[in-house]
Chain A
Amino acid sequence: MNEIRRETRHEIRLRVNGVTYELRVPARRLLSDALRHDLGLTGTHVGCEHGVCGSCTILADGEPVRACLLLAVAATAHEITTVEGLAGPDGEPNAVQRAFAECHGLQCGFCTPGFLTTVTAGLRRDPCPTRDAAREMIAGNLCRCTGYQNIVRAVERAAELESAQEPAR
């Protein structure tokens, strides 16, 4: 325990979902753990913890990255968006969240936050993906229910929903 007490803690500011948080963390705190344990934002799920499964995917400056492969102390320069930040200001689910519900893309739900963040950013880059592009978009995320068919459908449905609401955005 002595060794742990001696560990230097860093005062950092994290911008998450538009809110600035001040926290004290050791350098080894992974961003995924800082979000969950220090900030209580437990929507970001932790699966493999070495960058393979994609469950912890968050957006840094709008682009998907693995929260388990980023140190919290190294994330201070970025605007972080977690699954909690995807919904609209009124709490209305975004098009991707609605599409996952409609198409039963959630299954057990554990991998869902990573898929939702990945697809939300992916559709910004490619608003009208082909089926192959939809598969490629989610290729870095693992679903242990192997529910990929419904998830691919949900990506396509989300693209439809977003294009339908385009004029309002």
Chain B
Amino acid sequence: MKPAPFDYVRPDRLADAVAALAAPESKVMAGGQSLVPLLSMRLASPSLVVDINGLPGLDAITVTSGGVQVGALARHTAVLESPEVARVQPLVPMALAHVAHATVRNRGTTVGSLVHADSAAEMPVVLSLLGGSIEVSGPAGRRTIAASELFVGPLESSVAPDEIALSAFFPALPPGAGVAFDEIARRHGDYALVGAAALVEGERIRVGYLSVSDVPTVVDLTGVPAADRAEAALEQLDPTGDIHATAAYRRTLVRVLTDRVVAAATANAQGGTP
């Protein structure tokens, strides 16, 4: 359970970091809370780790009326505890409270969790549901990747190997809209067996699911009668079974969580506590 050898650099300029990433089999490390376990189990063996913790300014959390921009070095804890973030987009802290345990959140970064693209993780679903985006920098300059284009497969994002994610943008909660997040895990803080996030905006109802498919999946339930929502969601999902839960149990959890998060988001939209 030790990593294989790799080279390591910690540049203090973005240009140097991008240049370093031109090396084949290189990998960006921010918080390392997902990467280091992969290294230790030798599921990943990069030849070079580019530690971006020396890059200035990437820990900023910028909140405007339009949304929340989270820098690549902002730790989950800092985002979770920001009152401004909670005010502008409450779904972000609602979901972050379920990201691992406080000890891991102290080091792990929200942007890192997004580009790690684990469909069992909370933040990819949140970014997908809200229609957010990330900004990356690479040899060809900067570009913005919409959440709908970001998650392409299990643990696979559309960020190129020579690009560094600089920030993520979570759009603000529109006035009168409501959000909710819930998940079922064997132990709070563990990976969810199934999780769901809801966004209710007038008549419009959308729900995002984690730990159900290979990629975070958002289902539009607008206009579906309340009693039929869970089945309508399941028509677009194909839960699989694994050592932790059978497919049938995951379908049950989808039913339970769909009704629960839509009800909570509706209450949240009406000014109640989710």
Contacts and interface: CB of A to CB of B under 8 A. Distances in A.
B154 to A, nearest CB: 18
B40 interface: yes
Nearest to A63: B106
Contacts of B106: 60, 63-65
A139 B101 contact: yes
B224 interface: no
A161 to B, nearest CB: 22
Given A50-B37, A69-B104, A74 B51 contact: yes
A17 B3 CA distance: 26
A5 to B, nearest CB: 11
A64 B53 contact: no
Interface string B97-115: 0001111101100000000
Given A51-B33, A70-B32, A71-B32, A28 B10 contact: no
Nearest to B108: A69
Contacts, number: 94
A11 to B, nearest CB: 12
Contacts of A77: 53
Interface in B28-78: 29, 32-33, 36-37, 39-41, 49, 51, 53, 77
B11 interface: no
B100 A140 contact: yes
B6 A65 contact: no
B188 A139 contact: yes
B5 interface: yes
Contacts of B29: 71, 74
Interface in A23-81: 26-28, 30, 33, 49-51, 54, 57, 60, 63-66, 68-71, 73-74, 77
A51 B36 contact: yes
Given A70-B36, A139-B187, A27 B49 contact: yes
Chain A contact surface mostly: mixed
Name, among A7, A49, A66, the residue most crowded by chain B CB atoms within 10 Å (CB to CB): A66
Which of A65, A69, A77 gathers most chain B CB within 10 Å?
A69
Contacts of B5: 3-4, 7, 26-28
A124 interface: no
B248 interface: no
Contacts of B51: 71, 73-74
Contact of B6 (A28, A49, A74): A28
B36 A71 contact: yes
B1 interface: yes
A60 B31 CA distance: 13
Contacts of A112: none
A8 B7 contact: yes
A69 B105 CA distance: 12
A144 interface: no
A70 to B, nearest CB: 7
30 contacts: A3-B5, A4-B5, A27-B6, A28-B2, A28-B3, A30-B3, A30-B36, A33-B2, A50-B1, A50-B37, A51-B104, A57-B103, A60-B107, A65-B107, A66-B103, A66-B107, A69-B32, A69-B107, A70-B32, A71-B32, A71-B51, A74-B10, A74-B29, A74-B32, A74-B51, A77-B53, A118-B103, A139-B101, A139-B189, A140-B189
Interface of B: 1-8, 10, 29, 32-33, 36-37, 39-41, 49, 51, 53, 77, 100-104, 106-107, 187-189
Q: Which 8 A-B pairs rank lowest in CB-CB distance, beginning with the nearest?
A: A140-B101, A27-B8, A50-B37, A28-B3, A49-B1, A64-B103, A69-B36, A63-B106
Interface of A: 3-4, 7-8, 10, 26-28, 30, 33, 49-51, 54, 57, 60, 63-66, 68-71, 73-74, 77, 118, 122, 136-137, 139-140
